[in-house]
Amino acid sequence: MKLGTLLLVIALSASTFGGQQPAKTPADQLPPLSYVCPMAGDEDVIEDKPGVCRKCGMELKPARLDSVWTCATRPLLVVESKPGKCPVDGTPLVQVTAAVSWTCTDQPSIEKLEPGLCPNGAPMVKRYAARAHGNHNPQHGGQFFMAPDNWHHIEGAYLSTGVFRLYLYDDFTKPLPLDQVRAVTARLVTKQTFDTATKTTKELAAAPLVRNGRFLEARIGKLALPAQMTAKISFKKGGPEHVFDFAFEGFSKEPPPGTRLTAAPGMPASPPAPAPTTAVEGGTIEIAPAMENALIPVPIPETVPEIMAQLRTRTDQIRTFIDRGSFASIYVPAFQAKDLALALDARKDTIPADKRKIAQPAIGQLVRSAYLLDAFGDLGNKQQIVDAFSIFAAAVKDIQASFPER
């Protein structure tokens, strides 16, 4: 067995690999040790201590998770530590979560969480493995969401020809097998009204999404931009219907098909490029600007008025993302707001007791609704997001009434 089906990325330089000097990575440069649940569907359980899964009770397993930059449509074919261009198709690299381990080229069943030496004396090589839910990036230049079943993922692309195309993926963002695509029923609603009193939706214009090969599509013509539309999808006959709200500021552009990668020594050969499904128009995938600083925690300012000002900014950002339909970006300001609220919690002794009585439950409410905004933002159901944001905004209001703003 050579590399087998595992994706190996040789992270050592050729001279090191030649066996002159075993590469020593200082322990503090390794991605931190996390404890994850081995159960499929519990990929969001990531703890910093050993223990049992809060969702299913299984024993957590140690792993090193790293956020790396790679090609959107060829995850982990190349792995970079910073943004750049995909060498295959020239599109901007995207961030994915991968599990990092060390193995031996001649014995890929060896898997260690630290670098070291192989039985044959050669230094171990770094291996990146895709993780379920590790890639939430659009593959066709559209908008990408995760389904509430925590397994399916979908992407909607609105083409300049007036066609809406729905792509379906599994938990690893691989295209759904054809038999499963056949079981999907879906329609696209382009006009609907929502009665806030009765919480019911009335569809005024809808088109069935019809299967065309591996994807579904509907010809809806050219709507004025930004165009809002809602896909209602059942993944199985008789299964629950999930709602995904799209807002397209422009038409979606398929990333270019890419030239053949000349495989570098030790690199796996390029997998066959997926057959282009449409006339390629050139252009690039846009990375949501928020994604680039998603991993940078917000520095907490010194004074309460400065924290309050930051909290106001994050609240405005969330509102803007909701208005623009950039639901997948909401978690960034939501989590930053959560951190700011926790910083206020640590300073609650500086305010009078009567104000504290208002502030304390409001902070709890803000933290809970920030998690809801994160979860619902991934799912792309606007009504759920708006409901969570109204809880969030009410909490911010109470906090503003309790802490001095200057």
Which residues of this chain interact with Zn ion, rule CB under 5 A?
A: 37, 39, 42, 53, 55-56, 58, 133, 146
Name which of 42 and 339 has its Cβ closer to Zn ion. Answer: 42
In the complex with Zn ion, the residue whose CB is nearer, 53 or 181, is: 53
Nearer to Zn ion, 171 or 217 (CB): 171
Give the Cα-Cα-Cα angle 205, 179, 379 (nearest 5 degrees).
50
Least separation in angstroms between CB 377 and Zn ion: 12
Nearest distance in Å: CB 166, Zn ion? 17
Nearer to Zn ion, 42 or 89 (CB): 42
CB of 172 to Zn ion, least distance (A): 9
Contact 363, 395 (CB under 8 A): yes
Q: How far is the CB of 253 from Zn ion (least distance, A)?
A: 23
Q: How many CB atoms lie within 10 A of CB 361?
A: 11
CA 386 to chain CA centroid, nearest Å? 20
Residue 252 Cβ vs Zn ion, minimum distance, rounded to whole Å: 20
Measured from the CB atom, the residue of 51 and 250 that comes closer to Zn ion is 51
Residue 176 CA to chain centroid, in angstroms? 18
Report in angstroms how near the CB of residue 239 gets to Zn ion at its nearest.
18
State which amino acid sits at residue 299.
Answer: P
**Token pair listed for 18:** 């030649």
Tell me whether residue 345 or residue 374 sits nearer to Zn ion (CB atom). Answer: 374
Contact 322, 389 (CB under 8 A): yes
We find the least distance from the C-beta atom of residue 151 to Zn ion, in angstroms, to be: 8
Distance of CA 99 to the CA centre of its chain: 15
Structural contact between residues 144 and 132, judged by C-beta atoms closer than 8 angstroms: no
With respect to Zn ion, which residue has the nearer C-beta, 53 or 332? 53
E strand or H helix at 241, and its extent? strand 241-248
130 versus 159: smaller Cβ distance to Zn ion? 130
Are 140 and 255 in contact by the 8 Å Cβ rule? The answer is yes
End-to-end alpha carbon distance in the chain: 67
Residue with tokens 């009504």: 383
Q: How far is 136 from 139, CA to CA, in rounded Å?
A: 9
At closest approach, how far in Å is the CB of 45 from Zn ion?
Answer: 5
Q: Tell me phi and psi for residue 155, to 5 degrees.
A: -140, 135
CA dist., res. 318 & res. 375, Å (int): 14
Helix (H) or strand (E) holding 290: helix 289-292
- Residue number of the CB closest to Zn ion reads 53
